[in-house]
Each structure stands twice: as structure tokens, then as C-alpha cells.
Chains A and B, each alone.
Chain A
Amino acid sequence: MKTRKLLSLTALALLTAGLHLFTVLSGTQFYLTQLTMAAYYGLVVIGLGVMMGYAGQISIGHAGFFAIGGYLSAALTTNDLTPFLAPGLIRWLDRVGLLVHGQDIFGDPLMTVSPWAACLSAVTVTALIALLIGGPVLKLRGHYLAMATLGFGIIVYRIFLASPFFGEADGISEVPGFQLLPATGLLGPVIISGDAAHRVLNYYLAWGVLLLGMALLLNLIDSRAGRALRSLHSSEEAAEAFGIDTARCKVQVFVLSAIYAALAGSLLTHFNGGIGPGEASVMKSVRYVALVAVGGMTSLWGTLVMGVGLTFLSLRGVFGSYDDVVFGVILIAVMLFAPEGVLRGLFGRALQRFLPGRQT
């Protein structure tokens, strides 16, 4: 079990390097940009996959979490915060070194928060929101759960769309890069940004984050907590009877998947240099659900492969103006003909034997 997990993670790392090599050899390095973005979206999808596939709880509001993470990061690092903070707080934050002073394009002073602090607070705020609404929302089941999460997503969308602080319909642009590490010795700075100069670095950063996220989730699923989660899916009553605190379990996995979405949103926003309200739209949430469904609800690897693959194709514009239609058709077709997921449906158990994950 352990070696198999290690093997498949190594395979993912090799795939990452292999894809890079392929783009270099075929002279298509520009693919790396979309591959980077696809990896971040993949992070959202696997987070949702654990919640939907393993714990059996649907969420049609994950784009909301993604957007909260992205928007908070963007707003804190881009908007001038002078009018919003008390002078005492500014002095204190300055002393801790969390503030960045600069100039906007008109030469006026611009005070923002450093990307590290912004990213951490964005993820923390998202986790708190998930924790807050998770309790009452996850008490609901079936249609009600679907509608409540959908409703949450729409509220987030409306708030971002209507708030001047978040740029209303234009969203926030000119978001600066996210410097993870300063330049040391011969190495340049490690920075998340969409500059062509940092393209290869960012590609590996994104896939590295995805790999790390995947490793954490795989470990979680095989742990005691993961077994508790899986028991939720088949029967909550039975899980309760075994002494599992089902309510707590569900909220925990909800918060975890919200954190994945927020982190992806924050990093992708720095990479893209901006975010718009479209990222919070219902269609995005539905798309994440579709990707989890097509990957086979209970197969994290299937979800990862399908999530990254289809997102990459969509970002490359392969589906043209039929983008949303494609995801709608996928959603229906998978649910009608192969509710277990395409990979498992087509290749059956043979493939599953080589993939770690659910062994029930």
C-alpha cells in the first residue's frame, strides 16, 4: 500500500518533468502557462473530490471558496489600504514587516500587504467561513445540501460583483507577483507570477503544490480519519453507530477542501495577475463538480487526471464557444452511463489495481 502510493506520486513527479521535456522538444513551451493554471485548478478539484467522493457530500459552491481566496489575496496586495486601517494598526503591521509601500501608476503612495501575509490571511478567512457555514449546511442532505451550497456560491458571486472594493464587474487586475523566497546567492528569487521569464519555475511550483496536496490527501484517506470519512458515504447511521462523530467529520473535510480551493485561488490569482467575478460564478462550481464526477467520485487519481487534463484542454480553447456545453454534456453522460467515473467505467478494475486509494 505504502510503496504503491509512493510509486504513483513518483509517477506524477516524473510526468511533470516529462511534460516539461515534451514541450521543450516539441517547441511548445507556451503550453506551460496553461499547464500551470490547470495544476492550480486541479488542486481545487482534488480537494472537492475528497469531499464528494469519499465523504459523499456534494458542494456546488466551491468556486465561492476559490474566489474568496483569490479576491482577498488580490485586494490586500493591490488595493491601497490606507483608508481602511487605523494608524496604530498600520504602525504595528509596519514594524512586523507585513506592509509594502509603493506607488501607483499616478505616483500616489500605495500601501498594501505583503503577498505572504495576504495569502495566509486569505486562506485563514476562507477556512473560518467554511467552518462557520459548514456546521449548519452539512446538517442538510441531498437536494437541500446541493441548494444550500449553490446558494452560498451565488451570494459570494453577488458580493464580489457588487463591491467597489473588489472591482465590481471588472475584478482586480495588476496583482503583483508572489515572492516566495528572496534571491539567494546564484539562485534568483522564487516568485509566482505570469512573467515569461518565470514560466518554467512557475510550472514546477504549481505542479509541486499539486503533488504535495495530493500526497496529503492520499495520506488522509488511508488514515483513521479517512476511514471514518469513507464510512460516511455508505451510511451515516452506521458510521454513527461505530462511534464516529459524523457532523464533526463532515465539517472537517468541508474546511479542508475549502482551504485547498482558497490556496489554489490565491496562488492562481498571483500567477494570472488578476481575478474577475467569473471565477465565483455558478458555472465554475458546476465545472468542478463535473470534473470530480468524470474522474470517478471515489478515485482521487482519476479525479486528478481528468481534472487537470480537461481543464488544460478547456484553457487551450479546444472546446471553443461550446466550453460550458462540453462540461454539461460530460456531467450528464457520466451520471447516466458511468456514475463510477470514466476511468473505472472504461478500463474497469484492472486499472484500479495499480492505483492506490479506495480499497473497499
Chain B
Amino acid sequence: MTLELFFQYLFAGITYGSLYAIVAIGFNIIYNTTGIINFAQGEFVMLGGMISISLLQFMPLGAAIAVAVLITMLIGAAIEMLFIRWLVHPSVLRLVIITIGISILLRESALHIWGESIRSLPYFYGNEITTFSLGSVNISPQVIWVILACAVMMVGLNIFFRSTPIGREMRACAANRTAALLCGVNTRNMVTLSFMLSAGIGALAGCVMSPITYTQYDSGASLAIKGFTVAILGGLGNSMAAVAAGLLLGIIEAFSVTVVPLAFQDAVTITILLIILFVRPHGIFGSSEAARLKDF
């Protein structure tokens, strides 16, 4: 492998890895406040892309993305209020099945609204063949957009969780729900908020990735399982580790093309998931003792 090729693969890996990291953070936000793995997380990414593509006919790109993110956030809130909020002590099995059902509903609604065609947003800057050179490597400007968006989201979330009152309340809810309730935190609203937040960042990821990966009604499922792989790899609930794990998985996936055919790429990722689940279910960066105390 030449050095140029190596860097091309590396950048492809980082691009996809950023996307996986964002999906994983979406998983983590909901998991932290509710203990639910939201199997519909990938569908939020798909919805963000699809809605922004449709809105593009009526408004400029920036506004379309902003409105798409808002709409997806409202959908996320509506889902939580309709299907999760009023359940009394639901079992994990029940919640898993409900969120799977929600993901089917979202995907099939998308199929009936947008059809089977593959769509995409235009490149934010330039077009498909615009590249700029970094040393000997050619990079599409969209890659920079993706990495930038991922970084901004990370910093934004960090500030939100550490410095704003609502962010602190959400963290309190994550640490101990009963204690948070006793301190006057409206934990139910925090759960709704966590669904909105993870729908929002999922949608934004769907928008920035759309020019590169394209958007189709069923693109959510494979994203969800990769995002979950990353979330587990970093240790469930740990968003900072998820970024590192996301980049790691993206790079492994990009380089796997050199060893196994492209058609088996998903199988590679999922095999990694299974191995992690079998060997280190608490993640690379997590501690096994903390994991034992958690209720899966």
C-alpha cells in the first residue's frame, strides 16, 4: 500500500467514524437518562437527511438543515411522549421490542413519503469533484464539514452538560433518577429532552453526511448497529470514549476493504460487535466492575 492510499483510507475512516461516533452519542444520551437502548436511533439520522432534502426546495441549505433538525427533534419528543413516557416500570424486553417497532414505523413511513429512491443533499461547498490537497492526499471539502460538525457537536454537548442548569439536571437524572426526582428535577421531562437531544444530533449528522453517503429510507438500520457497536466499544454511556471508539471502528472498516470484499464490510463491523460483546461487554475504556452494577 502506498502512503497516499494509506492516507485516503485513513480519511475515509475518520469521516465514517465521526458519523458512527455521533450515532453512538445519541445512544448514550438516551441510555444515560433512561437505561433504554433506542433501536430507532439510526432512523433519526435518516429522517434528518430526508427532511432537509425535501425542505431544500423552499429555503437555502442552512435553513433547511436547521428546520430539519428541529422537526426531527419534535418527532423524537413525540415518540417519547406517545410510546415511552406513560409506561410504568417496563421491562427491558418490552422496551427493546417497542423501540424496534418504532424504528419499523419510521422507516416504513419514510418509504411511503419519499419512496425507494436514493437522495442526497448537494455538497455544502463546491461539488463532487472539488478537492483540495493536503500534502499528497486529496480531500473533499465535505469531509472537513463532517469532522467540523462532529467536533462542534462534541464541544457543544460538553458545555451543555457541564455548564447549563438543564444539562446538569440531565446528568443528575443519569446518575441517580430517584435522587434527582427528590431534588426537584422533573425526570420525566428530562427523558423527553434526552430523546429530543439525541434525535437532534442524529438529524444533524444525517444532514452533513448526506452528500457523501446518500440517504435512503432504509439507511438507518445499519447505522444503528454500527453506532451501537461504537457505543459498546467505548463503554455504554461514555460519550467521550465513543468518539475515540467511533474513529477506531471507522478506520478499521475503511482498511478492511483491503482484506475482504466490500460486500462483507458490514459483516466485519458486526463481527467486531459480537467479539466485543463476548469478550469485553464493558467496552475498551470502561471498567468491568462498574458494568457489573448496571442493569442491562
| Supplied contacts A141-B296, A332-B83, 18 more A-B pairs, CB within 8 Å | A58-B97, A142-B96, A150-B225, A151-B274, A154-B266, A155-B266, A155-B267, A159-B267, A162-B263, A162-B267, A282-B221, A289-B97, A324-B104, A325-B105, A328-B108, A331-B101, A332-B102, A336-B83
Q: Which residues of B lie under 8 Å from residue A289 when comparing CB positions?
A: 97, 100
* A283 contacts the other chain (CB 8 A): yes
Give chain A nearest CB distance to B10 CB in angstroms. Answer: 25
B264 contacts the other chain (Cβ, under 8 Å)?
yes
Q: Name A117-171 residues within 8 Å CB distance of B.
A: 133, 136-137, 139-144, 146-148, 150-152, 154-155, 158-159, 161-162
- Bound complex: CA A60 to CA B96 (Å): 10
Q: Which of B74-120 contact A (CB under 8 A)?
A: 83, 87, 92-94, 96-98, 100-102, 104-105, 107-109, 112
| Complex Cα–Cα for A139 and B281 (A) | 11
Task: Write out the residue numbers on chain B whose beta carbons fall within 8 Å of the beta carbon of A283.
Answer: 104
Task: Give min CB distance, B291 to chain A, whole Å.
Answer: 10
Q: Contacts A154-B266, A328-B105 known; A339 to B94 CB distance under 8 Å?
A: yes
Q: Cβ of A162 and Cβ of B277 under 8 Å apart?
A: no
| A residues near B97, Cβ cutoff 8 Å | 58, 289, 293, 331, 335
Q: How many residues on B have C-beta within 8 angstroms of the other chain's C-beta atoms?
A: 38
Cβ–Cβ contact A143 & B264, under 8 A: no
- CB contact between B98 and one of A133, A155, A327, A336 (< 8 Å): that residue: A336
Judged by a CB distance under 8 angstroms, whether A251 is at the interface is no
A residues 326-360 in Cβ contact with B at 8 Å: 327-329, 331-332, 335-336, 339
B273 close to chain A: CB less than 8 A = yes
Is B270 interfacial (CB 8 A cutoff)? yes
Q: Give the chain A neighbours of B105 by CB distance below 8 A.
A: 325, 328-329, 332
B271 / chain A contacts, CB cutoff of 8 Å:
155
| Minimum CB–CB distance for A132 against chain B, Å | 12
Closest A-chain residue to B87, C-beta based?
A: A336
Q: For residue A145, which residue of chain B has the nearest CB?
A: B296
Q: How far is the CB of A296 from chain B (nearest CB, A)?
A: 14
Interface of A is mostly: helix
B9 CB–A CB distance under 8 Å = no
Which one, A142, A161, A286, A321, contacts B100 given CB within 8 A? A286
Bound state CA distance, A125 and B233, in angstroms? 31
A-B contact pairs, 18 of them (CB 8 A): A142-B295, A147-B225, A148-B277, A151-B270, A152-B270, A154-B222, A283-B104, A286-B100, A322-B108, A324-B104, A324-B108, A325-B108, A328-B102, A328-B104, A329-B105, A332-B102, A336-B83, A336-B87
Q: Which residue of B lies closest to A153 (CB)?
A: B270
Residues of chain B within 8 A (CB-CB) of A58 are: 93, 96-97
CB-defined contacts of A133 to chain B, threshold 8 Å: 274
Q: Judge whether B94 and A140 touch: CB under 8 Å.
A: no
Query: Which chain A residue lies CB-closest to B279?
Result: A136
Of residues 214 through 257 on chain B, the ones whose CB sits less than 8 Å from some CB of chain A are 221-222, 225, 228, 232
0/1 interface trace, chain B 120-138, chain A, CB 8 Å (1 if under): 0000000000000000000
Binding site for B on A (CB under 8 A): 56, 58, 60, 133, 136-137, 139-144, 146-148, 150-152, 154-155, 158-159, 161-162, 282-283, 286, 289-290, 293, 321-322, 324-325, 327-329, 331-332, 335-336, 339
Given A56-B93, A155-B271, A335:B104 Cβ within 8 A: no
B252-296, CB < 8 A from A: 261, 263-264, 266-267, 270-271, 273-274, 277-278, 281, 295-296
Q: What is the minimal beta-carbon distance from A241 to any residue of chain B, in angstroms? A: 19
- 9 A-B pairs with the lowest CB-CB distances in the bound complex, closest first: A328-B104, A162-B263, A332-B101, A331-B101, A142-B92, A142-B296, A136-B278, A143-B37, A151-B270
Q: Across the interface, which residues of A come within 8 angstroms of B107, CB to CB?
A: 324
* Least CB distance, B223 to chain A, in whole angstroms: 12
Decide if A152 touches B274 in the complex (CB within 8 Å): yes
Question: Is the beta-carbon distance between A151 and B264 smaller than 8 angstroms?
Answer: no
A141 closest partner in B (C-beta): B296
CA distance A284 to B88 in the complex (A): 30
B93 partner residues in chain A, CB cutoff 8 A? 56, 58, 142
Taking a contact as CB atoms under 8 Å apart, the answer to whether A143 and B96 are in contact is yes
Give every chain A residue within 8 A of B96 (Cβ-Cβ).
Answer: 58, 142-143, 146
Whether A158 and B228, one on each chain, are in contact in the complex, defined by CB atoms closer than 8 angstroms, is no
Tell me how far the C-beta of A336 lies from the nearest C-beta in chain B, rounded to whole angstroms: 7
Measured CB to CB, the nearest residue on chain B to A339 is: B94
User: Within the complex, what minimum Cβ distance (angstroms) separates A27 from chain B?
Assistant: 35
| Interfacial chain B residues near A142, Cβ < 8 Å | 92-93, 96, 295-296
Q: How far is the CB of B279 from chain A (nearest CB, A)?
A: 9
Take A58-B96, A150-B225 as given contacts and tell me if A158 and B296 are in contact as well, using a CB distance cutoff of 8 Å: no
Q: Tell me the complex Cα distance, A56–B266, Å.
A: 29
Contact of A144 with B277 in the complex, beta carbons under 8 Å: yes
Report the separation of the CA atoms of residues A293 and B91 in the bound assembly, to the nearest whole angstrom: 14
A230 to chain B, nearest CB (A): 16
**Would A158 and B267 be within 8 Å (CB), given that A152-B274, A293-B97, A329-B101 are in contact?**
yes
Chain A residues positioned under 8 Å from B270 (CB to CB) = 151-152, 154-155, 158
B267 to A: closest C-beta gap in Å? 4
With a cutoff of 8 Å between Cβ atoms, the chain B residues found around residue A286 in the complex are 100, 104
Q: Tell me the minimal C-beta distance from A49 to chain B in angstroms.
A: 14
| Most interface-central of A137, A141, A155 (chain B CB within 10 A) | A155
B228 to chain A, nearest CB (A): 6
Cα separation A230 to B240 with both chains bound (whole Å): 41
Judge whether A327 and B266 touch: CB under 8 Å.
Answer: no
Bound-state Cα–Cα, A336 to B83, Å: 7
Interchain nearest-CB distance for A213 vs B (Å):
24
Q: Cα distance A321–B96 when bound, in Å?
A: 25
Give CA–CA (A58, B97) in the complex, Å. 9
Query: In the bound complex, how far is the Cα of B277 from the Cα of A162, in angstroms?
Result: 25
The distance from the CB of B211 to the nearest CB of chain A, in whole angstroms, is: 26
Known contacts: A143-B37, A155-B270. The answer to whether A332 contacts B225 by CB under 8 A is: no
